[in-house]
Structures are given as C-alpha cells and as structure tokens.
C-alpha cells in the first residue's frame, strides 16, 4: 500500500466519525494544500515523496512507519516493473536475432539433405555450444520460424530462397508482434 | 483422462551450475546424452516426478515450469487459450515421439503440456 492509499483510509476514517469532516479540514490537519490532497485522493497525482514524512508524522504515525512509506514511494510499481522486465526481454530477443547467426545457420541446415535433427551435431557444425543451440532453437520455435514434427525439423519461414537478411527481418517482425501483444512497442515497422 | 503433473523443468541461465548444485545437494543424476542435449534429471526416488534442466537466455529469470499430461495437446492448447492463456511454443514433436507445448497461463506463468508418444 502506497502512502496515497493510507491518506485515503485516514480521511475515510475521520469522515466516518464525523460526517461533516471536510477534505479541506483534512488537508489543513496535515499542513497540505486542499487541491493537492484532492488530486492525490482522486489518483490523478502521486504523493510528493518529500512530503511523506511530515504528513505521516502529522497523522500520528511512527517515524519508522513514515520511513517505510518513503522507501515504498521509491519502489517500482508492479506495472512499471512488468514493463521494464518485458522491455528488457523483448529487446534482448531482438538483439539475439540480430547478433547471433546460429538462428540462420539452423534454418539453413534444415534444408540440407545431410541435416541431422540432433543438437549435438548442430553444435559441432556451428561451433556453438549445445546450450546456445538450444536457446536459439527455443527462440526459433517461439517465433514460429521452425517446426519440429515426427523427428523432422522444418524451416517454416516460407522463403523459397533463404538469406540471412530475410530471416533477420522476418524474425524481428515476429519479435515486434510478440512484444506488441505484451504491450511493448519496439518501434515502427520499417518500409525497406 | 486425468491430467497428471508429469515433469518439472528448471529453466536456468547456468544449466551446468544448476545440474551441479542439485547433484551435489541430493545426488540427482543428470544425463544429457540425447539428441536434444536435454539434461534429464533422475532424482533416484520412486515417489514424486522426474524432471529436466533447460538453458535460459541471459536476460531471462531462472524459473521452474511444470509439464502436465494431456491426451490431445492441440485441443488442450485451444482450451487453455479460451481461458486466457497464450501459447509460447506451439505443439512440437520431440525426438522420442512425445509432443510438448509451452503456454503462459491466465496470470502469465509458464507451464507445459505434454502428450505421450502415439
């Protein structure tokens, strides 16, 4: 619970005791402007961090309680934390697609008649560790660029001729769509 | 059919370190000698479920996901979506013939569906 919610509870409690108790009186009791408190209680502005301690003490809270509310005001909200985590995730996904040729290599190799659907073999062919091949593989499945069915791996990019540039572009498009589904905007679609 | 929890999967940024940790702590046997290089975990116990360890990309958190047995992976995947889930990895047939799919549940928590080889 942030300090704004605590203010709301305090105000409601005072109004319950005295139905004629006004917001103006409440604001005055903590040494705040009426309009500021009104906006905070309506949720249209946050409590200024610099005022929390003084207001909390005026409300009769312990200094230790006030300190917790000040600390809580610096913590990220669940929504901002979710967004930051999602942004980190999707930009890292995009950067991996841009910088790690193993994604293209796996797709290219699936078209080769000598291809073996064995991660250890792919690791040897690409010189990339088994764990990194598996991370790339998971990404290709997630972006629906590869399918695994009945022991066969199939490139499902839909390209007749596979080039690194085409794969990168399609993969980035899929990353952007997936990010958008999570309400993360990775920039406008390029026209090139 | 009943939908048993079949397997746990630890998704780790350091799968080797994780394998080592649990091997040292509980004596679990970890074997990656299979076409996916998948670290299969044998707890050595007759009760509970067995599991595996899979690598996570560097930005991902470490977490555990559960695989639940179904008799029709596509039908359950569609049902999960109708209940608010999203598909992360569509139905994929594994080298042993079993199928798996990974979804986010309605709260955004990942879980897997698993279907025995036909």
- The rounded distance, in Å, linking the Cα atoms of B49 and B74 is 24
Domains of chain A: 3-74 (1.10.260), 78-191 (1.10.10)
Among the four given CATH numbers 3.40.50.10490, 3.10.180.10, 3.30.160.60, 1.10.287.810, the one describing domain B8-64: 3.10.180.10
pLDDT band at A15 (very low <50, low <70, confident <90, very high): very high
CA distance A189 to chain B (A): 23
- For chain B, the average pLDDT equals 94
DSSP type of residue B60: S
User: Is residue B8 predicted with pLDDT exceeding 50?
Assistant: yes
pLDDT digits (tens, 9 = 90+) for A32-76: 999 999 999 999 998 999 999 999 999 999 999 999 999 988 887
- The rounded distance, in Å, linking the Cα atoms of A149 and B73 is 13
Q: Are B104 and B85 in contact (CB under 8 A)?
A: yes
Q: Which of A132-136, A148-152, B50-54, B87-91 is predicted with the least confidence, judged by mean pLDDT?
A: A148-152
Architecture of the domain made up of B70-118: Roll (3.10)
Beta strands, E only, chain B: 5-12, 29-31, 39-42, 50-55, 63-69, 86-93, 99-104, 110-115
- The rounded distance, in Å, linking the Cα atoms of A146 and A95 is 19
pLDDT digits (tens, 9 = 90+) for B68-83: 999 999 999 999 999 9
ipTM of the complex: 0.89
Integer distance in angstroms from the first to the last C-alpha of chain A?
Answer: 48
Residue in B closest to A91 by C-alpha: B59
pLDDT digits (tens, 9 = 90+) for A95-138: 998 999 999 999 999 999 999 999 999 999 999 999 999 999 99
CA distance A75 to chain B (A): 20
**If DSSP codes are grouped into helix, strand and coil, which group holds residue B63?**
strand
List CB contacts (< 8 A) between A146 and chain B. none
Q: Do A141 and B92 touch (CB under 8 A)?
A: yes
């Amino acid at each position: 619970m942030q300090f704004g919610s605590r203010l709301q509870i305090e105000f409601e409690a005072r109004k319950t005791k005295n139905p004629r108790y006004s917001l103006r009186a409440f604001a005055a009791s903590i040494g705040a402007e009426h309009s500021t408190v009104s906006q905070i209680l309506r949720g249209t502005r946050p409590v200024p961090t610099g005022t929390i301690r003084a207001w909390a003490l005026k409300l009769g809270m312990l200094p230790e309680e006030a300190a917790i509310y000040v600390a809580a005001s610096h913590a990220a909200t669940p929504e901002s934390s979710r967004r930051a985590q999602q942004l980190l995730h999707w930009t890292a996904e995009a950067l991996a697609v841009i910088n790690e040729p193993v994604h293209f290599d796996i797709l290219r190799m699936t078209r080769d008649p000598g291809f073996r659907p064995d991660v250890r073999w792919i690791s040897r062919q690409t010189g990339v560790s088994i764990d990194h091949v598996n991370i790339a593989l998971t990404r290709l499945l997630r972006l629906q660029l590869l399918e695994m069915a009945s022991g066969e791996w199939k490139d499902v990019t839909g390209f007749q001729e596979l080039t690194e540039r085409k794969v990168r572009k399609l993969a980035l498009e899929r990353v952007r769509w997936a990010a958008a589904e999570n309400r993360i905007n990775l920039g406008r679609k390029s026209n090139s | 059919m009943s939908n048993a929890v079949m397997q746990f999967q630890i998704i780790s940024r350091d799968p080797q370190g994780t394998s080592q940790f649990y091997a040292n702590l509980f004596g679990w046997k970890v074997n990656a000698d299979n076409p996916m290089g998948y670290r299969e975990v044998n707890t050595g116990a007759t009760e509970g479920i067995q599991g595996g360890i899979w690598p996570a990309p560097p930005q991902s958190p470490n977490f555990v996901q559960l695989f639940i047995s179904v008799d029709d992976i596509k039908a359950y995947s569609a049902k999960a979506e109708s209940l608010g889930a999203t598909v992360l990895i569509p139905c994929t047939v594994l080298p042993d013939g079993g199928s798996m799919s990974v979804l986010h549940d309605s709260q955004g928590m990942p879980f897997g569906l698993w279907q025995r080889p036909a």
